Structure 1
Amino acid sequence: MRYLPLNTQDRSAMLASMGAASIEDLFVDIPEEARLSGPIHGLPMHAPEMAVERHMKALASQNLVAGDVPFFMGAGAYRHHVPASVDHLIQRGEFLTAYTPYQPEIAQGTLQMLFEFQTQVARILGCDVANASMYDGSTACWEAISMARRITKRATALLSSGLHPHYVGVAKTMARFTGDALVHQAPSLTAETDIAGLIGQIDKNTSCVVVQYPDILGRVEDLSALAHAAQAAGALLIAVVTEPVALGALRSPGEMGADIVVGEGQSLGVGLQFGGPYVGLFGCKQKYVRQMPGRLCGETVDAEGKRGFVLTLSTREQHIRREKATSNICTNSGLCALAFSIHMTLLGEKGLRGLAQVNHAMAVTAAERLEKVPGVTLLNESFFNEFTLVLPKDARSIVRALADRKILGGVSLGRLYPDEAELANGLVVAVTETATVEDIEAFATNLEELLA
């Protein structure tokens, strides 16, 4: 029997208090074409369990699985080898069943893990302090923009053209409700980034400058000059890292002066998982810690002088008055943060640097081979494990044709920027330690045949 605790009178009273005439009024922000007017087409109202299992397996078999074919997709989600010990440890009962600690004094293991996670994140991002994770990189990016507004009392954010378009989309969605002005334009297929242009746009109304490192096209830029220019104008520099393995080889954004560094932690410990769940990273300078969203775990001693862990800071709406909250994100990606932390611990500093070197070396090998394909141009002058190719035709058709040949050959810019015709021939290629020389050769050979 369905549990329906509210009667018609209760619902009417609730709607009246919100100023809504009906429940349908609560969905006005959802476009009409995106709403369901009835049951999902094609699905039966009920079916035997075995029939459902058979049907779901048939649907799953239509997927082209990342681990089964040459894989060169990236653009914010990367395939890395995750040691089997990561999955084994996160499935231990004390971790797998643990929710975010509302009674932290009885969750010492969870708090210690989060404390270690924060330490690792702060070190790789080059920040003084990091929180216990956010939902994912895109929401962490928006939270950083919101944090900059609170700190600077300004409401115009400059978003680099190299910022992932999905991150831009999340920021635009949230800015509708906060009044923040977002200045952004699509990237150009050039080897140069828009650092100089961003510096020229900074003024007295700028709350922050948001730049991705490496950017959506794989380009790598020194952020020092941008950090100096933003701070000289009273604004903050927010750096976004979607591939944390890169920080095993590149200078961290914090070292270059970034005030807030956020990112996506999926690359370490967390599989692709059809797009989620992932884990957002968030770090900042010590002086801004009280404006940092989410939660912060700290180390202390108990009444007997023994080492212990506590929930040091949690300025979110569940714990303090809503108007004083820094965020309405009410939890952290605990299990994914644990997977990240275990993988980082297994690697250590030396291992992370070694993994980064292997990634870069394989990417260089791939770039050199693919650039030899007639008609193909390598856009980047610098990159880590991801770069952009300019093809002689629309990359979307090539990506589909490669998939038909059992090769997942990158992400087309036409897919990311469907309204930007000048980007249609761009193809973002990611190469990690999971790619082999044979995979690269198969990619290049098939690409050459398709472009002939």
Structure 2
Amino acid sequence: MRYLPLTDTDRSDMLDTIGAPDIDALFADVPEAARLSGPIEGLPMHASEMAVEKHMRRLSKKNLAASDAAFFLGAGAYKHHIPASVDHIIQRGEFLTAYTPYQPEIAQGTLQMLFEFQTQVARLYGCAVANASMYDGSTACWEAVAMAGRVARGKKRKVVLSGALHPHYAEVVRTMAKFTDDEIAGAPPSLTARPDDDGLIARIDGDTSCVVVQYPDILGRLPDLAKIAEAAHDKGALLIAVNTEPVALGAIASPGELGADIVVGEGQSIGVGLQFGGPYLGLFAVRDEKHVRMMPGRLCGETVDAGGKRGFVLTLSTREQHIRREKATSNICTNSGLCALAFNVHMTLLGEKGLRRLAMENHRLACFAADRLAKVPGVKLLNDAFFNEFTLLLDGDARSIVRELTQQDILAGVSLARLFPGHDALSNGLLVAVTETTTEEDVETLASALEEVLA
């Protein structure tokens, strides 16, 4: 519970200092219709601290924790096992209290960690250079689109989005594009066994600055990145590959290896818990070193000091905090440094062999689940191929079925109707994710429950 120590006099002094007549003046840009005209109905005006704590505990008992359920949720946030050693290391005082190093070379430990993190991301993505992380996957996606516009020097403003891009990522791109001249060319999702790569390629033209493709996509399918990259490059466009499940890259070819020019994604799966949706970790890398100065965020480099000893420096810092705003390539003022450290620690503990073993165990369990669930009457498996996430087509409304199964402590997956509201054709689609934390017993529990509700 927060303790607010400010007095009315403190607030008045602050308002006088900044020249505001009252607190309401600070919210002048918020539309009148969006403001509260009075206290929230149903909330008491006053309560003791102990009473509020008891009330909040009662409310919390209504939640169903991920660890207390048969858990099959995914769609960009995944439940993976995080070794206790990760939390032990990131809780050390020198890491936990560290913030953006404004005198960076003093913080050699922080810089070394970020340098190692960049190396891990670059190798994972098959790219030449990665930055020192970003806010999250969706905003990293937009930053990649903005970077493609800089590479094109404003001569090309069309952005082609795959219909199988995570809708939240697509919405962030559309929101940010309202402040630029970019034309966002989206497409509706389609329930087909394989991605419509040819349809995506047909939308690329000479005005296209970039093509944004998720890999694996929102339905768990694997687009042909090499084919799409060739088509994009033929039109002078960049290919942006989005990856929301980095564990998959322990089993499938890296996007950079397949021709993606910019690779971005969400790093939450490695070292970072679900955490009620955040904070998470944005990853960003480029395949060609010539694009380094167009990148957003910060970049740590390795050097030697005057005595010839190995050291680390903040090589590039293109955020608006560090240079004049009009020259900044990004105005996102955080790089989720503690989450980047957790990623770095977990990835170091895994190593390349460990990551590959983890990926194969995810895939093995997902194949087991897909085979078992496809045998349930009224359930059809959509995918021809997948990593640890796949789409089921149910004989019924998936959203209502998901709600019904929560009453049995089963979090069955994410309904496509929730991800794509307004698309009635997707109402029977259910996105199911399986990780190393899923047991065969969990799968059998879900299968039995589906047999019951679909009977």
Q: TM bucket by the smaller chain?
A: over 0.9
Match of 1:397 in 2: 400
* 1:110-121 correspondence to structure 2 within 5 Å: 110-121=110-121
**Structure 1 residue aligned with 2:240:** 238
* Matching residue within 7, 15, 20 for 1:6: 15
Cα shift readout 1:328-355 (whole Å, capped 9, x = no counterpart): 0122100000001110000000000000
- What TM-score do you get using the length of structure 1 for normalisation? 0.95
Q: 2:62 is paired with a residue of what secondary structure?
A: coil
Letter in structure 1 aligned against 2:183: A
Residue 422 of structure 2: aligned partner: 419
How far 1:237 moved relative to its partner?
0.2
> Is the contact between residue 125 and residue 254 of structure 2 (CA under 8 Å) also seen in structure 1?
yes
| Cα shift at 1:22 | 6.5
State how far apart, in whole Å, the 2-side matches of 1:273 and 1:40 are: 27
Query: Does 2:389 align with 1:386?
Result: yes
- How many angstroms apart in 1 are the aligned matches of 2:260 and 2:126? 9
Match of 1:265 in 2: 267
Q: Distance in 1 between matches of 2:207 and 2:407?
A: 50
**Letter of the aligned partner of 2:44 in structure 1?**
P
Task: Note the C-alpha offset of 1:59.
Answer: 1.3
* 2:179 aligned counterpart, secondary structure: helix
Aligned match of 1:43: 43
- 2:229 is matched with which residue? 227
Q: Distance in 2 between matches of 1:105 and 1:44?
A: 51
Aligned partner letter, 1:396: R
Residues 214-262 of structure 1: CA deviation (Å, up to 9, x unaligned): 0000001220011111112111000000000000000000000100000
Mapped partners of 2:112, 2:340: distance in 1: 12
Following superposition, the deviation at residue 9 of structure 1 comes to 9.2
**Secondary structure at the counterpart of residue 418 of structure 1:** coil
Contact 2:158 2:209 in 1 (8 A): yes
Letter in 2 for 1:6: L
Shift of 1:45: 3.4
Shift of 1:40: 3.4
1:166 to 160, 165, 168: 168
Aligned residue for 1:17? Answer: none
Deviates more, 1:118-127 or 1:49-58: 49-58
Residue 297 of structure 1 aligns with which residue? 300
Alpha-carbon distance between aligned partners in 2 of 1:312 and 1:115, rounded to the nearest angstrom:
11
> CA-to-partner distance for each residue in 1:61-90, whole Å, 9 max, x for gaps?
111000111100000000000000111111
Alpha-carbon distance, 1:315 to partner: 1.2
Runs (5+) with no aligned partner, structure 2 = 1-6
Note the 1:123-142 alignment, pairs <5 A.
123-142=123-142
Which runs of structure 2 are paired with 1:347-366 in the superposition (5 Å)?
347-366=350-369
- The offset of 1:24, in angstroms, is 5.4
| Residues in 2 aligned to 1:127 and 1:327: alpha-carbon distance in whole angstroms | 20
Partner of 2:281: 279
Please, which runs of 5 or more residues in structure 1 have no aligned partner?
Answer: 13-20
1:195 aligned partner, one-letter code: D
Taking structure 2 as the reference length, the TM-score comes to: 0.94
Q: Distance in 2 between matches of 1:39 and 1:304?
A: 64
Matched length: 442
- The aligned counterpart of 2:215 is 213
Q: What's the counterpart of residue 60 of structure 1?
A: 60
Q: Deviations over 1:404-433 (max 9, x none)?
A: 111000000011111000001000000000
Match of 1:329 in 2: 332
Q: What do you get for the CA RMSD once the two structures are aligned?
A: 1.7
Q: Secondary structure at the match of 2:410?
A: coil
CA displacement 1:164-222 (0-9 Å, x = unmatched)? 00001111111111121111122111112121112111111101000000000000122
1:25: how far off? 4.6
Q: Given that residues 194 and 222 in structure 2 are in contact (C-alpha distance below 8 angstroms), is that contact kept between their aligned partners in structure 1?
A: no
Measured at CA, do residues 106 and 9 of structure 1 come closer, stay the same or move farther in structure 2, by a change above 3 Å? closer
Tell me what 2:70 maps to: 70
**1-side partners of 2:61 and 2:194: how far apart?**
42
